[in-house]
Amino acid sequence: MSKNKDRENLINKIVEAIQDTKGEDIMIFNLSKIENSVAEIFIICSGNSNTQVSAIAGNIEKKVRNELKERPWHVEGADNAMWILVDYVSVVVHVFQKHIREYYDIEELWGDAQITKIEN
């Protein structure tokens, strides 16, 4: 299987996992054409509480591990669950509590990326 197909499968599984746990405002940022970008794809979503943010991140890890046999290279922020980062190297997921996402305004930061909004 090609690298792009693997990445596509990973993105789809992550989005499904977010939707399963009622994550909101899902956006996919394609950063592959941006110089010095830390990843090829950023997936961003919001939850309404630290419990939900934890559940979303946990479900992403579980679904990807069970269905694609992949584990994240790194997970950060699970302690307070305000903003959890799940890093699969080429695809990095940011799960935010709404107010934290608004504060950091990541969308603006990566405004020159190709952005796909996933309808709820």
Which tens digits make up the pLDDT trace of 90-100? 999 999 999 99
| Confidence (pTM) | 0.93
Instruction: Report whether 82 contacts 50 (CB < 8 A).
Output: yes
pLDDT of 55: 98
Tokens of 97: 């509590």
CATH number for the region 3-118 comes to 3.30.460.10
pLDDT of 38: 83
Instruction: Report whether 19 contacts 59 (CB < 8 A).
Output: no
pLDDT of 67: 97
pLDDT digits (tens, 9 = 90+) for 30-62: 998 888 888 999 999 999 999 999 999 999 999
Neighbours of 49 (CB within 10 A): 11
Q: How does DSSP classify residue 71? A: -
Neighbours of 19 (CB within 10 A): 16
Residue 3: strand, helix, or coil: helix
pLDDT of 87: 97
For the chain, the structural domain boundaries read 3-118
Judged by phi (left if over 0) then psi (alpha if -120 to 50, else beta), residue 31 lies in alpha
pLDDT of 1: 57
pLDDT digits (tens, 9 = 90+) for 1-24: 588 899 999 999 999 999 999 999
